[in-house]
Amino acid sequence: MTKKTIINVLLIAAVISFFVTPVGYYGKVYLNRLFAKTPSIILSEEREQIANYDWKLKNAEWQFFNFNKSKGKVVFINFWASWRLPCAAELQEIQEVYNTYGNAVDFYIITDEEREPVELFMKKNKFTFPVTYLIIGGDSPLDVLEPPASYVLNKKGEIVIKETDIADWDNATISALLEELIKE
């Protein structure tokens, strides 16, 4: 075999492994993270106020609770699905933000999936942020966005960030914003 043939075989094997093996899954997660952008912060004069905090959800123990417990707090909301590759990439960064701000910001990492696949996904990825389950058809003070998508609310209930795509959350811009919102 010639050197060119060996290189071609290795290249083909690498491409195939990218699509059909676990190595490919992690490679695709990495590429999604690589191309994620920092979310845009909405100017204060353009921020919309949420109508109310009346939103019934379920926690990780499958118990009902109301979003109104977050009134007057900084809130981070992310809509995700375990089967969506961009969500897996984004959640790794959200975990880092949660590790830093979990005591000062209310996190709602919301899925509409059944409990079992979510628990397996959380365990596999060693995520510790709180999982929230969406009640399909229930009223919401926000547009329920297709995953991956996120909101950041300030203490007055204004939408500071509305991101409808995968985003880079673990960066200096977001850290500075959260610090500012917490101090308000």
| pLDDT per residue as tens digits for the range 66-94 | 999 999 999 999 999 998 888 988 999 99
**CATH classification code of 39-183:** 3.40.30.10
- The strand ranges marked E within 49-169 are 56-58, 64-66, 75-79, 106-111, 131-134, 149-153, 159-163
Q: Which helix (H) or strand (E) holds 24?
A: helix 22-35
Say yes or no to pLDDT of 49 above 90. yes
Of 72-86, 108-122, 131-145, the range with the lowest mean pLDDT is 131-145
pLDDT band for position 25 (cuts 50, 70, 90)? low
Domain spans, the chain: 1-35, 39-183
- C-alpha torsion 167→168→171→174, nearest 10: 10
pLDDT band for position 9 (cuts 50, 70, 90)? confident
Say yes or no to pLDDT of 26 above 80. no
- For residue 153, what pLDDT is reported? 98
3-class DSSP assignment, residue 176: helix
3-class DSSP assignment, residue 150: strand
Stretch 135-156: mean pLDDT, rounded? Answer: 89
